[in-house]
Amino acid sequence: MITGASAGIGAELARQLADRGHDVVLVARREQRLRELAEQLRLRHGIHADVEVCDLGDADARRALVERLLAERTVAGVCNNAGMGTVGTLLEAGVEREQQVVRLNVDAVHHLTGAFLPAMVERGAGAILNVASIAAFQPLPGFATYAASKAFVQSFSEAVHAELAGTGVSVTSLCPGFTHTEFGVNAGAGKEEQALPELLFQDPPAVARSGVEAMIAGRRTAIPGLHNRASMLGGRLAPRSLLLPVVRRVTAARR
């Protein structure tokens, strides 16, 4: 099962898993895009590709999805890729919009991870890939809720990975940096992304490949790109008294 499969990294995860011969369940809100992708995967790879239209930020819709899949299928792997972000301070964005970020980036990932793990552990095989972000490794004024939500995904995934040692099941956290997807435009940061150097960006196929390989290998974390690994180290090691004022000035200047 791949969430957020209608575009970007999610669609590439589906393509690469299908290329390895895996049947897929594509989950997102945009039905037409999902159906087009499913047809492409069926024709190109000869696999089964099913479509589930679901707003994963809606807890009732999410529960219904889980119940259907557990009743009808053996889910060997879950890619929790669906996510959203906002640009601006908490005051500017408004609490309701920021709560939507938490419901999708945190609640949905927590729910779907926990819902499918028991059956995987019972079978002694399975893997979950949770898409975090390089933003997970430091607080980011101007992106406070988004960065915090991805910090949850990263910390949660690493901890559950350790809990599952010896079960045959793994949880992997994928932490991409800037990627050529629709994320920036949807977050209201299209202009800010355009102003960044191209060398900072990766393409979805490369990011998805890193995630799929790490997921299949049962690794704890995947950080694609040397510059992103350097950013991770900087975010972890830089004193907050120095980091936070700098990030605040940079993000304020871009808005």
CATH of the domain at 161: 3.40.50.720
Q: Among the options 116, 137, 143, 146, which is catalytic?
A: 146
Q: Which residues contact 11 (CB under 8 A, 6 or more apart)?
A: 5, 37, 204
Determine the pLDDT at residue 163. 98
Name the DSSP letter for residue 143.
Answer: S
Determine the pLDDT at residue 230. 72
Residue 86, H or E segment: none
Give the integer Cα–Cα distance in Å for 146 and 226. 23
Q: Is 146 known to be catalytic?
A: yes
Determine the pLDDT at residue 177. 85
- Taking 60 as the threshold, does the pLDDT of residue 105 lie above it? yes
User: How far apart are the two ends of the chain, measured CA to CA in Å?
Assistant: 37
Taking alpha carbons only, the member of 231, 235, 145 closest to residue 187 is 145
Task: Report the greatest alpha carbon distance in the chain.
Answer: 55
What's the average model confidence in pLDDT over 110-136?
97
Mean pLDDT of the chain: 89
Based on its alpha-carbon atoms, the radius of gyration of the chain, rounded to whole angstroms, reads 18
Give the integer Cα–Cα distance in Å for 174 and 208. 9
Residue 109, H or E segment: helix 109-123
Determine the pLDDT at residue 86. 86
35, with CB counted inside 10 A (0-12, 13-18, 19+), is middle
Q: Which domain holds residue 51?
A: 2-254
- Taking 60 as the threshold, does the pLDDT of residue 193 lie above it? no
How many structural domains comprise the chain? 1
Determine the pLDDT at residue 61. 98
Give the integer Cα–Cα distance in Å for 187 and 251. 14
- Taking 80 as the threshold, does the pLDDT of residue 252 lie above it? no
**pTM above threshold 0.85:** yes
